[in-house]
Amino acid sequence: MRTSITKVESNKIITKGYSQEDLINNLSFPEMVFLLFKKELPSEKELKIFNHILVSFCDHGLTPPSTQVARLITSSGSPLNVALSGALLSFGVNHAGAIEKIMDLLQDRLNNKKEITDEQIDEIAINIVNEYKDKKMNVPGYGHRFHEYDPRAKKILELATEEGFVSNHTKLALSIEKHLKNKKIRLNIDGMNGAILSDLGFKGINGIGLFIIGRLPGLIAHINEERDNENIFRKLYELEDIPYIGDEDKVL
């Protein structure tokens, strides 16, 4: 067991090289998050967009399975940390898994090239769209089961444009959207934030972690609401809501 993150001595705690007193004194929480994920602190401009991204993950009501799980576990009487833990177990493949996939895809194809023209980006986008079409798969980060366009993605793009934060990964993500045949399939919040986080220098593997940090307060709000306002161990389905489609009348 060894670590480069935090040194603990009696009465002294150092994290990422700084005393925790110094960090507590000088950093906002989003800066602290940034520092724990990366080697450096964000610039003022980076911090602004980073805050927008974290806020945009905050909540999506009762629709996600993670939120339903958190409430079911709470209704069963388990404490907040346990209900939150259950919620996290549904993230990662079909649920919030797209953010890592699009980050990997964008970063892999751009491969850190700085000098690249808009035409070259369009070419990469067209290739991606065609590849996924051939594989009969959807490009990750596009389309939403409830929204035609995701209002969060639209606002993030607007702010990124205003604040001068649109760089190559975001350009590539937008170009993919432009070249998708189905015009109703738009960048969703995972796709948009994955693109911006790539421009911020985050690796794909960090996408889900940042999503979880952003979503946690919303999950906690749902847990609090369930505990404070609903019956314990409530029946979400009556027996007649659950059709049985198996065998009957067998005897041993």
- In DSSP terms, 19 is beta-bridged to 14
Interaction between residue 97 and a copy of itself (CB under 8 A):
yes
Site for a copy of itself in 21-40 (CB under 8 A): 21-30, 32-33, 36-37
Residue (9 or 119) nearer to a copy of itself, CB: 9
* Among candidate residues 193, 184, 225, the one with its CA nearest the CA of residue 211: 193
d(CA 140, CA 112): 20
Q: Residue from 45, 62, 118, 178 that binds a copy of itself (CB under 8 A)?
A: 62
| Cβ at position 64, least distance to a copy of itself in Å | 9
| Cβ at position 207, least distance to a copy of itself in Å | 10
Interaction between residue 58 and a copy of itself (CB under 8 A):
yes
- In DSSP terms, 187 is beta-bridged to 142
Helix (H, G, I), strand (E, B) or coil at 142: strand
The residue to which tokens 């444009």 are assigned: 161
Interaction between residue 72 and a copy of itself (CB under 8 A):
yes
d(CA 95, CA 189): 12
| Cβ at position 160, least distance to a copy of itself in Å | 11
Interaction between residue 14 and a copy of itself (CB under 8 A):
yes
d(CA 136, CA 227): 44
Site for a copy of itself in 116-175 (CB under 8 A): 145-152, 154-156, 159
Distances in Å between the alpha carbon of 246 and those of 136, 202, 241, 251? 34, 49, 15, 15
Q: Residue from 43, 44, 94, 119 that binds a copy of itself (CB under 8 A)?
A: 94
d(CA 98, CA 77): 32
| Cβ at position 104, least distance to a copy of itself in Å | 14
Interaction between residue 9 and a copy of itself (CB under 8 A):
yes
| Cβ at position 102, least distance to a copy of itself in Å | 16
Interaction between residue 18 and a copy of itself (CB under 8 A):
yes
Interaction between residue 243 and a copy of itself (CB under 8 A):
yes
Alpha carbon of residue 211 to chain centroid:
3
Interaction between residue 192 and a copy of itself (CB under 8 A):
no
Site for a copy of itself in 206-235 (CB under 8 A): 206, 208-209, 212-214, 216-218, 220-225, 227, 229, 232-233, 235
Cβ distance 215 to 65 under 8 Å?
no
Interaction between residue 201 and a copy of itself (CB under 8 A):
no
Distances in Å between the alpha carbon of 70 and those of 82, 97, 221? 8, 19, 10
Residue (60 or 109) nearer to a copy of itself, CB: 60
d(CA 210, CA 195): 13
